[in-house]
Structure 1
Amino acid sequence: MILHQHFVKFSAIFICLLLKESLGVETQNACNNKNSCHECIQMPNCAWCEQPNYTQDRCFDYLLESNCPNESVFYPQESSKFISNRPLTSGKSIQTAKSVNSVKYDSQEIVQLKPQHMSLQLRANQIHTMPLTYSRALDYPVDLYYLMDLSYSMGDDKDKLSALGDSLAEAMVNITSNFRLGFGSFIDKVRMPFTKVSSALDKSKKSVTYSYHNVMPLSKDTNEFAYKVKKAATYGNNDDPEGGLDAIMQAVICRKEIGWREKARRLLVFSTDASFHSAGDGK
Structure 2
Amino acid sequence: MVKSGHQVAFMVPTEVLAKQHYSKLKELFDKLDVSIEILIGSVGDKKSIYKSLKAGEIDIVIGTHALIQEEVAFKRLGLAIVDEQHRFGVEQRRELAKHGMPHLLAMTATPIPRTLAMIVYGDLDISLIDEVPPGRKRVVTRVVWDKKRVDAYEWIYKQVKAGDQVYVICPLVEDSDKLEEIKSVKAEFERLNEGAFKGLKLGLLHGRMSSREKDDVMRAFKAGDIQVLVSTSVIEVGVDVANATIMMIEGAERFGLAQLHQF
Class of the TM-score when normalised by the shorter of the 2 chains: under 0.3
Q: If you compute each CA radius of gyration, which structure gives the higher value, 1 or 2?
A: 1
Structure number with the bigger relative contact order (C-alpha 8 A, sep ≥ 6) is 2
TM-score of the aligned structures, taking structure 1 as reference length:
0.24
TM-score of the aligned structures, taking structure 2 as reference length:
0.25
